[in-house]
Amino acid sequence: MMNRHPDLILYNGTLHSLDVAQNLLNFMLEPAAAIAVANGQNYPTSLDPTKVAMPDEVKKLPAFDPTGKLDGYLFADPPIGTATSLTGLKNGTG
């Protein structure tokens, strides 16, 4: 199972806590945690619903995309050199 984030990044200045950040991001990408956050924020998870089963309450959220393609959505593309790439993530599968 993969999430829909090809790269997760940490901005400069976070290198001293890289392990902590990796652990937090891995936890937040666990399906149970991502679904709980989605329910709490009333906004769908970043997990691909074609690969991770979503409960009905998430499927009913206004921005939910059952295809997992996110066609028509606009995502920011930060400038090169302003962030540190984060390795060691579990790709949202736990």
Q: Is the pTM of this model over 0.95?
A: no
* CB 8, CB 18: distance < 8 Å: no
**Mean pLDDT of all residues belonging to the chain:** 76
Residue 11 in any domain: the answer is no
Residue 94 has pLDDT above 50, yes or no: no
State pLDDT tens for residues 56-92: 999 999 889 999 888 777 777 766 655 555 555 554 4
Residue 89 in any domain: the answer is no
In sequence order, what are the residues at sequence separation of 6 or more whose Cβ sits closer than 8 angstroms to the Cβ of residue 10?
A: 18, 21, 83, 84, 86
Domain ranges, residue 41: 20-76
Residue 37 in any domain: the answer is yes
Residue 91 in any domain: the answer is no
Residue 32 has pLDDT above 80, yes or no: yes
Q: Percent of the chain, pLDDT > 90?
A: 35
Total domains in the chain come to 1
pLDDT value of position 1: 39
Residue 92 in any domain: the answer is no
